[in-house]
């Protein structure tokens, strides 16, 4: 059996390879990522080791940084926080910078694995929008600097849903049988217990971090009632399925929906993919740069953080993958098509509806796993 740590990456690579075989591959980014590890600018000596999400730094941005710092940027990738935490727990060292999501930052801080950040060395930190600073996972930003964010929302085939007269602004469309009857077998939801429970809890008017057993049961029942109408629990191929038109509605991440929308437009499909945040609220995942204690070059890491805090560089990320941007100075450089999407850049009112996932205590984790098993077996 494959070690789970490499599995997701392999899945991604395998998907691209299989698609290429079938002759319908969108221009994949996986090839670029593989190059990342061997990229050399010829400058010997200084190296910055960055451990980042797949597809979370534009290649041009990386090159520009290497030129600016006269050093080599060595990248390694993960596809979920658990994979990254597991690798570090297994003793991986030498990473100067990591880009975990909030709850994983919380874990790393609690484990004492991070260096404190000297704010005096980050003059551009002031450009970060205040609503993204001083979060529960790191009060006072003593260990983390915001990098980018995504929202877990609904992506859909705009023409189909309009034709069927279904709402696209509410979780009701993936949970209520009266809507789902028209979408039998055309809906996928995320194969992640935290994310799916968060959506159900939000729809029921609770917090995404609810731990009360009765409320979790309520969410479980809601999910079980809707499940017969869904096509699958899916974590990776919904981008492709949406683009092809096999499914019409997906619960997923905003960055993925951005890619699906782009792919569908590029393939000149007779429909378009749109995405929106349900009015009941959704999950926001804020990824932050942190300094790992085992990293030998915190000086270069500070250079990188300052570089990424620069509006133009930060904007490249949003333009490339459609990620949300916490940097006020980046806004003027972001494509209007990305910036004007209220799903990813909500107004102050919409922003209040977004909630970050917190790490659950172990008893609640086990309880949720029990409910999840029931959902997956029944």
Partner 1 sequence: MHADTSTRTRSGRLTQWLVSGPPFVFLCIFFLVPAAIMVVASVRYPGEFGALAPLFGGRPGEDSGITFENYGVFFGDWIYAQIFAKSFGVALATTLICLVMAYPVALLIARSPRKYRDLMVLLCVLPFASNFLVRVYAWMIILGPFDLLFSRFAVIVGMVYVHLPFMILPLYTNLEKHDPALLDAAQDLGANAWNRFWRVTFPLSLPGIFSGSALVFIPVLGMFAIPEILGGKDDWLVGNLIKESFLGTRDWPFGSMLSLMLTAAVLAIAAGAAWLAKRGVARA
Interface residues toward partner 1, by CB under 8 A:
1-2, 4, 7, 10-11, 14-15, 17-18, 21-22, 82-83, 85-86, 89, 107, 110-111, 191-193, 227, 230-233, 237, 246, 359, 361-362, 365-366, 368-370, 372-374, 376-378
C-beta contacts of 7-13 below 8 A and 24+ residues apart? 8/78, 8/79, 8/80, 8/83, 8/236, 9/54, 9/77, 9/78, 9/79, 11/236, 12/54, 12/79, 12/236
Among 74, 75, 37, 40, which Cα is nearest to 56's? Answer: 75
**Rounded Cα–Cα distance for residues 254 and 364 (Å):** 27
H helical segments located in 90-212: 102-110, 158-164, 172-175, 177-180, 193-203
Record the tokens describing residue 306, joined without a space.
């300052």
CB atoms within 10 A of CB 54: 15
Among 366, 355, 191, which Cα is nearest to 281's? Answer: 355
Q: Among residues 217 and 370, whose Cβ is nearest to partner 1?
A: 370
Is residue 155 within 8 Å of 252, Cβ to Cβ?
yes
Q: Among residues 93 and 369, whose Cβ is nearest to partner 1?
A: 369
CB-based contacts of 43, cutoff 8 Å, min separation 6: 66, 70, 71, 72
CB of 8 to partner 1, least distance (A): 10
CB of 17 to partner 1, least distance (A): 5
**Rounded Cα–Cα distance for residues 145 and 304 (Å):** 11
Under DSSP, is residue 110 helix (H, G, I), strand (E, B) or coil? helix
CB atoms within 10 A of CB 303: 19
How many whole angstroms from its chain centre is CA 95?
Answer: 21
Q: Among residues 17 and 172, whose Cβ is nearest to partner 1?
A: 17
Q: Among residues 84 and 99, whose Cβ is nearest to partner 1?
A: 84
CB of 322 to partner 1, least distance (A): 25
Is residue 9 within 8 Å of 84, Cβ to Cβ?
no
Helix axes 311-321, 59-69, angle to 10 degrees: 160
Is residue 199 within 8 Å of 152, Cβ to Cβ?
yes
CB of 254 to partner 1, least distance (A): 22
CB of 61 to partner 1, least distance (A): 30
CB of 40 to partner 1, least distance (A): 27
Q: Among residues 211 and 353, whose Cβ is nearest to partner 1?
A: 211
Q: Among residues 14 and 40, whose Cβ is nearest to partner 1?
A: 14
Q: Among residues 351 and 376, whose Cβ is nearest to partner 1?
A: 376
CB of 166 to partner 1, least distance (A): 21
CB of 137 to partner 1, least distance (A): 13
Q: Among residues 193 and 314, whose Cβ is nearest to partner 1?
A: 193
**Rounded Cα–Cα distance for residues 251 and 187 (Å):** 8
Q: Among residues 292 and 333, whose Cβ is nearest to partner 1?
A: 292
CB of 237 to partner 1, least distance (A): 7
């Amino acid at each position: 059996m494959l070690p789970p740590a490499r599995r997701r990456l392999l899945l991604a690579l395998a998907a691209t390879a299989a698609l290429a075989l079938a002759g319908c591959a969108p221009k994949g980014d996986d090839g670029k990522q593989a190059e990342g590890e061997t990229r050399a600018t010829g400058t010997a000596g200084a190296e910055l080791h960055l451990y980042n999400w797949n597809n979370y730094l534009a290649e041009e941005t990386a090159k520009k940084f290497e030129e600016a710092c006269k050093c080599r940027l060595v990248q390694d990738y993960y596809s979920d926080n658990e994979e990254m935490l597991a690798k570090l727990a297994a003793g991986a060292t030498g990473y100067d910078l990591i880009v975990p999501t909030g709850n994983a930052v919380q874990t790393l801080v609690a484990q004492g694995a991070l260096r404190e950040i000297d704010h005096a060395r980050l003059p551009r930190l002031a450009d970060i929008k205040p609503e993204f600073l001083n979060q529960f996972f790191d009060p006072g930003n003593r260990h983390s600097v915001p990098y980018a964010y995504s929202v877990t929302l609904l992506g859909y085939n705009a023409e189909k849903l309009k034709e069927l007269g279904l709402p696209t602004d509410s979780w009701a469309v993936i949970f209520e049988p009266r809507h789902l009857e028209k979408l039998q077998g055309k809906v996928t939801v995320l194969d992640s217990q935290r994310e799916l429970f968060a959506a159900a809890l939000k729809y029921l008017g609770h917090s995404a971090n609810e731990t009360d057993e009765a409320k979790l049961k309520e969410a479980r029942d809601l999910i079980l009632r809707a499940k017969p109408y869904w096509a699958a629990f899916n974590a990776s191929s919904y981008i492709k399925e949406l683009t092809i038109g096999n499914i019409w509605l997906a619960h997923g991440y905003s960055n993925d929906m951005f890619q699906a929308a782009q792919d569908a437009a590029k393939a000149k499909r007779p429909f378009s993919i749109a995405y929106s945040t349900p009015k009941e609220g959704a999950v926001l995942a804020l990824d932050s740069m942190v300094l790992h204690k085992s990293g030998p070059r915190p000086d270069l890491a500070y250079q990188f953080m300052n570089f990424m805090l620069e509006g133009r560089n930060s904007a490249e990320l949003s333009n490339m993958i459609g990620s949300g941007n916490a940097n006020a100075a980046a806004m003027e450089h972001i494509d209007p098509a990305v910036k004007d999407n209220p799903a990813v850049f909500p107004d102050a009112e919409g922003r209040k509806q977004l909630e970050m996932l917190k790490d659950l205590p172990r008893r609640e984790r086990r309880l949720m796993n029990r409910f999840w098993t029931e959902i997956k077996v029944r």
